[in-house]
Amino acid sequence: MSPFLRPSRSRSHFKHKLHIPGCFVQQLSRERRGAPGPPHAPVSASLWRRLVVVQAKMAAQAAAAAQAAAAQAAQAEAAESWYLALLGFAEHFRTSSPPKIRLCVHCLQAVFPFKPPQRIEARTHLQLGSVLYHHTKNSEQARSHLEKAWLISQQIPQFEDVKFEAASLLSELYCQENSVDAAKPLLRKAIQISQQTPYWHCRLLFQLAQLHTLEKDLVSACDLLGVGAEYARVVGSEYTRALFLLSKGMLLLMERKLQEVHPLLTLCGQIVENWQGNPIQKESLRVFFLVLQVTHYLDAGQVKSVKPCLKQLQQCIQTISTLHDDEILPSNPADLFHWLPKEHMCVLVYLVTVMHSMQAGYLEKAQKYTDKALMQLEKLKMLDCSPILSSFQVILLEHIIMCRLVTGHKATALQEISQVCQLCQQSPRLFSNHAAQLHTLLGLYCVSVNCMDNAEAQFTTALRLTNHQELWAFIVTNLASVYIREGNRHQEVLYSLLERINPDHSFPVSSHCLRAAAFYVRGLFSFFQGRYNEAKRFLRETLKMSNAEDLNRLTACSLVLLGHIFYVLGNHRESNNMVVPAMQLASKIPDMSVQLWSSALLRDLNKACGNAMDAHEAAQMHQNFSQQLLQDHIEACSLPEHNLITWTDGPPPVQFQAQNGPNTSLASLL
C-alpha cells in the first residue's frame, strides 16, 4: 500500500493549505515614559541648569528612541501585512473553483522581492514547491523550490514542520523522477536529525520503509519498521508501535516468512486488545490486524478455517462505520497517524470477502460484493486520486473476471480484462505489479474459448513475469491442464511440470487449495492416460482436501471426473452417485462447464439404464447449456478485445481491431 500510513487529517492542514502564521516579526515592547520631575533635595542654580540640560538631552534621546521604536514596529506591522495579504490571495486562488494555480504561484513568488526573513523565505519555497508538485507538471521548478526550502530550513532552529515537510515532499518528487538514489540519503538524514520530533521521525521512517518496499527490498523495509516499532515504544506510543509491527507483519507475509509472522501477529493482537485510546483508532488497528489474518488464511487456501476471522472483520468494519470521526488530537504527537480512511477500509473488507467467496465457490456472493465495492470505488475516485484505490479496483476485477469465466460470461470477462489493461496503461507501477496476473487471466480466457496455443503463450509469458510462488504454482497447474487436453504434443514438458507440482512430495507452496488442485490435475492426467485406478486415488485425495476446507468448485470438478471414470468402467450406479451431487453443487456455484459436463453424463447414464424420461430431461439441460455457452463464445470472439490473446510482450496495447467473427473451434463446448 502506498503509503503505509498517512498523517491524521487534523495534522494535514500543513500539507494541503497555505499556512498563514500569526506573526513572523517579533514586535518591540514599548513603554510610555513621562518627563522627569525636579529633584526633591535643594540644589544650586548652576547645578539645576546643568541638570536641566542633561535631562533635556535625555528627553531628546528618549523621544528619538521612542520614534525609532515606533518606526521599527510600524515596519514590522507593514511587513506582516504585505505577507499575510499575499498569502491570503494565494490561498484564495488555490481554493477557487476551478483552482487558479498560475495566479497562486504569482502571489507566492511576489514574497521574495521584499527580501523576507529566513523563516518566511523557507516556508514560501516549501509552499511553492508543494503547489507546483501537486498541481502542475513543472517538476523542475518544484524540485528547485523544495531543495531551497530544505537547505534554508536546516539553518533555522525550532523550524521542524517546514524542514521535515520539505524533506518528505522532496523525496517523493525524487522518486517520481526515478531518482531513488537521491531520495534515500535525503530521508536518512531527515530521520537522523528528527529523533527529538516523534511525529516526523515516525512519518519519515514509514516513508523510507515504503520506498524500500517499492524497490522490492523487503529486508531493509522490515528493518526500518522494526526500528520504528522500538522508537514508538520508547516514546510511549503503543498505538504507533502496533502500526509499525502490523506493517512489518504485512511485509513478512509477502516474503512468506511464516515462522516470523506468527509470533509477530500474536504480539500485535495483544497490543491492539490492551491499547485504550480513540475508538476509531483502536478499531482501525483491529481491521489492519484481521485483514492480515484473513489474507494469511486465504494465501494458505484455508477457506473454511478463515470464516471466524472474516466474520470478526466484517463486524469490526460495521462498528467503525457507526463511530463519529471526531477531530480530537491525540496527546502524544507520535500517535498522529491512521492506517486507512474509513471509506478505504470498507472497500478493503469487500475485497477480502470477494477473495474468500471466489476461493470457496460462492460466485454469486462474490459478484454481489464486487458490485458494492466497485460502486464505492467510483464515488471515492471522484474525490480522491490515491493510487491504492486503483490497486483495489484491479484486484477486484481480477477476481470477478475469474468468476465470469466459471459462470459462462466470457464476453463480459474479456471486456473487464480490457478494463484492467486500461488501468495499467495509466500507471506503469500498477502494470509492473499486475502484468503476470493479467497474462494469467488472458490464458484462462483462451482456455475457455478453446484457443490452446494462445493459452500456452499467455501462461508462459505470465511465468516469465512472476516470482510469486503461489501465482507460479497456479499458472503451472493451469498450463499442465492445457498440455493434458492437447494430447501427446508436449509430453516431455508436461512430465516436467507435473514433477514440479507433485503434491505427494515436495510441493513448492503451502497453499492447501493449490495442493488439492495439483492432485486434481494428476487425476486428470491419469484419466487421459487410461490409468483409472491411479486417477481415482488422486481424485479422492482432492475430494478429501476440498471437503476439509469447503473448496466447492474443486469438489464439483472431482466428483464429475470420478463419475466419468465410473461410467467408462461400466459402474453406472457409482457414476450416478458422483454425477448427481456434482450437478447440484455446480448449479449452486454456478459453474457452467461442470453443469455441461454433468448433464452430458446424466443423459448417457440414463440412456444406458433405460430411463428415457430422465435421459430426455438431461439431454434438454445439456442442449440449453450448450446454446448458452455457444452464444457467449461467439459474442466474446467477435469483440475487438479478443485480439488481446496475441499480446505477449511489452505494455498493454492501446487499441484493438475488430474481428470479422470467431475463428476458434467450438467442438469442446458441445
- pLDDT tens-digit readout, 373-403: 999 999 998 888 888 999 999 999 999 999 9
Q: How confident is the model at residue 5 (pLDDT cuts 50, 70, 90)?
A: low
Which pLDDT score, from 0 to 100, does residue 383 have? 84
Cα R_g (the chain), whole angstroms: 35
Buried b (16+ CB within 10 A) or exposed e, 110-124: bbeeeebeebbbbbb
Of 32-41, 123-132, 327-336, 634-643, minimum mean pLDDT range: 32-41
Span 543-557, average pLDDT: 95
Q: Give residue-wise pLDDT tens across range 203-238.
A: 999 999 999 998 889 999 999 999 999 999 999 999
Which pLDDT score, from 0 to 100, does residue 67 have? 52
- Rounded distance between C-alpha atoms, residue 628 and residue 622, angstroms: 10
Span 516-543, average pLDDT: 95
- Rounded distance between C-alpha atoms, residue 566 and residue 571, angstroms: 5
**What is the helix (H) or strand (E) element at residue 338, kind and residue range?**
strand 337-338
- 210: cell is 515504503
Q: Give residue-wise pLDDT tens across range 29-60.
A: 223 333 333 333 333 333 323 333 334 344 44
- 271: cell is 497490543
Res. 650: pLDDT tops 50 = yes
* pTM: predicted TM-score of the whole model, two decimal places: 0.81
CA distances from 182 to 174, 177, 178, 188, 541 (A): 7, 10, 9, 11, 55
Res. 192: pLDDT tops 50 = yes
Quote the DSSP letter at residue 648: -
Q: Are 43 and 51 in contact (CB under 8 A)?
A: yes
Span 282-300, average pLDDT: 92
Span 281-306, average pLDDT: 92
Backbone angles phi, psi at 264, to 5 degrees: -65, -45
Res. 637: pLDDT tops 50 = yes
Which pLDDT score, from 0 to 100, does residue 655 have? 61
C-alpha dihedral over 593, 596, 601, 607, to 10 degrees? 180
- Rounded distance between C-alpha atoms, residue 555 and residue 583, angstroms: 11
3 upstream amide cis, omega within 30 of 0: yes
Span 581-604, average pLDDT: 95
Q: How confident is the model at residue 7 (pLDDT cuts 50, 70, 90)?
A: low
Which pLDDT score, from 0 to 100, does residue 544 have? 96
Closest CA to 257 of 299, 229, 306, 207: 299
Give whichever of 321-335, 347-361, 655-669 has the largest mean pLDDT.
Answer: 347-361
Closest CA to 240 of 249, 230, 253: 230
Res. 617: pLDDT tops 60 = yes
Cell 494541503: give the residue. Answer: 16
Question: Which tops the pLDDT comparison, 177 or 7?
Answer: 177
Q: How confident is the model at residue 110 (pLDDT cuts 50, 70, 90)?
A: very high
Determine the 3-state secondary structure of 337 from DSSP: strand
